[in-house]
Amino acid sequence: TYLPSVHAGCLEKIKGDLAGRNPQSAQDYLSSLGDIESFELKIWPNLPRSLQRVPRNTGRITVRLETEE
């Protein structure tokens, strides 16, 4: 679904802002974005929580947008 308020540049900014964060920081960041009603953060592989990080390489981060109708 095409979302006029979101374009590729915005997605790249979100990916850059998420890069290297721990899960709690990533969740806090995503929660702070006004246009997002909900999100799901998946980090793989499933390491102990103290070792989990969003990849620093934005090419390894996937942001998928879904709309509810």
Cα separations (Å) of 6 from 40, 41, 60? 18, 19, 20
pLDDT in tens, the chain (69 residues): 445 455 678 889 999 999 999 999 999 999 998 878 889 999 999 999 899 999 999 999 999 877 776
Q: Give CA angle at 14 (41, 37), nearest 5°.
A: 55
Sign of the dihedral through C-alpha 18, 19, 25, 26: positive
- pTM comes to 0.79
